[in-house]
Amino acid sequence: MRLTLGLTGMDPATESALQAAFQAANGRLGERWQMLPDTQADYVIVDMDSMYGPMSWLRLHAAGKSVIALTVSQRSQTDFRLANPFDANSVGALLREIGMQAGVSFDEAPAAAAPPPAAAAVPAPAPVATPAPAPVVAPTPAPAPAPSVAAVAPQAAPAAVAAAPVAAPAPAAAQPVRSGADTLLDWLDNDRLKGRMRVRGDEVVLIDMDQRVYHGPAALKPLSALFEGKLSTADFISVDAATWDSESARLGAAMPLVRLVWFGNLLAGKGALAPEYDPQRRYQMVKWPQTERDYPKHFRIATVMMKGPALIPEIAEASGVSVAEVADFINANLATGFAEVEREAEPLEAGKSGSGLFGRLRGR
């Protein structure tokens, strides 16, 4: 039995790199795979981070193909996932995994497959292990952020008697009167947090403000209380290097902090468009977002908004969801740069270039 693989929805450079990695990996697996056009292959790799990747996934899924997501995200809605960046080792591990599930035995593969598990820290896990060291090794001087975190400054003052009078005003200036009544989104938006810390709550959440990443549960809904309740400086606990290493390893790979910003803005409007935006304007997606498993309807909303600017009721009707869900989705994506308001054309003054008949025709 020979397995077939196709590529689609990616730029030429990525496609060439994947073909080279495939050739190297397939040679180690005894040439059990064959590269075919995506319309003929049983398994197809799609660049889900490109603009047309999700649309290609819909087309292939409807055709009964098994889709492999090439993505930098830790999660995917496809059948399989290939982490980006990739190499011959990670491609080989993917091909072996799919082949084993399909009931294919690799005669010469055991020798090639043994090294990845045995040297888990060297070849295969390189793409996966990279996120964890970034927040752990790079900002090794964890003690430095401790004094800069608002929650730790009051405790750091007694350690240095001379610094006590100097450190005291800093927290006072960084904490307005309403600081004790802020949600996690307020703290992240105001950029008042520095360094590494644990957020007090039912779920363990570690935040590294310097690296703009966090460790926590894979799903977002369990973190709703952090954005609906109020947090004070006492809810942000400084974390030393050893604690960070052990707890972050237990929680899994680091995730971008912008994901929490997205979620906070999704909840902030409570079904209404944010006050600074006009509900009578048209909105559109400018790039494809990473849709969350917690909110499966968002895929339909994003698909409609990728087609062009539209009013909120029009988007709701076309995607089959409520106006409130569309408003929340737009709030989240406007805040993170995935969506924008339709830009109005500048009016042309009479007599100016482009205001005549041919100018209007050119503008169409």
Lowest mean pLDDT among 234-243, 249-258, 337-346: 337-346
Helical spans, DSSP H, in 102-213: 109-113, 115-118, 126-129, 133-137, 145-148, 153-156, 164-167, 169-174, 184-190
Q: Which domain holds residue 152?
A: 136-259
In this predicted structure, what is the pLDDT of residue 309? 93
In this predicted structure, what is the pLDDT of residue 346? 58
CB atoms within 10 A of CB 64: 7
Q: Which residues pair with 242 in a beta bridge?
A: none
Q: Are residues 160 and 237 in the same domain?
A: yes
Measure the CA–CA gap between 325 and 52, rounded to whole angstroms: 24
In the chain, how many domains are there? 2
Measure the CA–CA gap between 100 and 288, rounded to whole angstroms: 33
Q: Are residues 107 and 140 in the same domain?
A: no
Lowest mean pLDDT among 24-28, 67-71, 114-118: 114-118
Residue 183 domain-assigned? yes
Residue 252 domain-assigned? yes
* pLDDT digits 0-9 by tens, 105-125: 765 443 333 344 443 343 444
Q: Are residues 143 and 174 in the same domain?
A: yes
User: Nearest Cα to 327, choosing from 313, 341, 308, 306?
Assistant: 313
Residue 339 domain-assigned? no
Q: Are residues 177 and 75 in the same domain?
A: no
Q: Are residues 235 and 124 in the same domain?
A: no
In this predicted structure, what is the pLDDT of residue 1? 67
Residue 338 domain-assigned? no
Q: Is the pTM of this model over 0.85?
A: no
Q: Are residues 52 and 170 in the same domain?
A: no
Q: Are residues 102 and 165 in the same domain?
A: no
> What three-state secondary structure class fits 173?
helix
In this predicted structure, what is the pLDDT of residue 114? 39
CB atoms within 10 A of CB 277: 17
- The reply to whether omega before 85 is within 30° of 0 (cis) is yes
Residue 277 domain-assigned? no
User: CATH code at 106?
Assistant: 3.40.50.2300
Q: Are residues 86 and 106 in the same domain?
A: yes
150 DSSP assignment: T
CB atoms within 10 A of CB 189: 14
Measure the CA–CA gap between 330 and 324, rounded to whole angstroms: 10
Q: Are residues 98 and 200 in the same domain?
A: no
Q: Are residues 185 and 213 in the same domain?
A: yes
User: Nearest Cα to 168, choosing from 153, 179, 178, 151?
Assistant: 153
